[in-house]
Structure 1
């Protein structure tokens, strides 16, 4: 997600058609990486089509970069000027304060039923859906085919094979045999991918409570520290200092043997002529049974009323063709079953098929917890120390668990 810092108002016609006309304000995130593909253009086209069919409704859309959009919405809400709709990274705080409509107060039954079940479930707080999934992605292990061929390697299926491949790549002079970005930008993602591959995760599958310092998670980080980082297989930058964007750039430059990536890395690598393959994340004993999924969210604030108009607009936003157009423009996975079915079968979407196949096996961050924001921030700050030379995986995970327990008890 590239930050353009663009602020654009789209279709903002105001109250012009008499007292019966309703203006809905939507604040949305920018998924583009240049002025040419800014999300402004997607919304502009969508809004034009919708307003032509609904002359009594105007949609005023403001698009902000991912660096700014969550903070902008918070400012508006704190000032008592909540937008009707926000398409941002998290919804749980607003749901906890009873500021949001429930999804079934807005959406038609066919639209609600069309969401991919994992994503709809992740939008729930205490069994009620407030977060409406808007975009999703999963992660796969990317590997550089040229470097693998040169070293006579096949893609790994287990941690042991991954470590052996990394040793062979290091012997060939590869700069980052395995890139392990545990820097502050997105350490919570790399961490979760590894925890899941070790049979653990941030939360307990049965109780839903945080289990960050579980035996499985400690074992995973001990393995990472001893078998990858400690043996110099993660490159010249300490994992705690390596951000995802820098790891992706290094992969696109041909300097990385393996790393976890999402669909946007395909375009980056292809543009630089890097030949790559993608396989499920290796696990302790075989390919990981659970992948990491990520979703961004649409939500509707109750402040201004307009539930009927908001619901009708959202039904249009989630029309199959509109979901497909957005997903294809930004190399993201559709959040609806109808669009997923089309993309799974379509030749033009063949490169996304491996990611689509991972989605039903995926687990998302515990985004329904208001505590997750604090836990995620603490993971970003601390987790890199767990694999440093003097670091203690059990000690760091225990500190993170303490943060999680405190944050959860404050919910």
Structure 2
């Protein structure tokens, strides 16, 4: 496969988001997925441990692998109401349309359970994760961003914001120099030392940990409180819920005549680097249910490595890959369709293999609705 390329990496302790260095070409990022999946067993220096930490690493690996690979490329758009909702959210950063709440003391609990008090809504923020940046813009608070993680690449206007080193190369001095009031970073992208350094400089640290759709809503609500945009956050959450419900209702109606529930297999790491998939306790598993389908690997908890033989045995009706393609060699769909021994799988025989925009489906944020819409249209309207 020429659409992916391996690259070496020094980090062995942090999550994929924290481990990304600047590669010479975007296709190298996808090769890191497997490597860092395997490194999850030795994660250290973070605030979580055991299975929960490993699950979070996988979520964030998807998030940032897609984010870095997408930089400089144009993401594919979903369709229908969900796509329109996400596009409107991206354009919602006009301060004339967003009403800031009056200055008042704000008390909140971040997603690590820490109690945080702000004297007023934050006006200067550094956000390290791409999904959190997308949320900030979607609630009309993009103007509060004074620094972003270097892999935050959506919406387009975010490139006007200075980037800071994040991941294993997080530069605390660089962040402090931007004089933010608040730094938003994931649980897995922070160490006690980093938090202590920021807090000693008078900067509040808000930890995020969105792993499923409900926690995406929590993240949106939390960021809304931080910037005094709770009303806009509620609107965004309701828009997402409406979009999910609309698509789910159509999918259930469309699949009502089926003799049995069809299965869908999500391939989050390609064959060349070892196959990984989404199991239970993941937002992809929830997307499968919304589509009126059963996740072919729902018996796996979180994100797990599987074999070709397991995929062949499960014989999924549909296959969704999030691999990136950069115009060289076989496309991700062509590669899957041509795999030796896979020709008997129903999804292969019926040509039900879809390559979904990696950023949309892997970032726990507003554009998950576009990813769901794209899958729905492919399965129920285009075929």
Same fold (TM over 0.5): no
Q: Which has the higher contact order (CA 8 A, sep 6+)?
A: 1
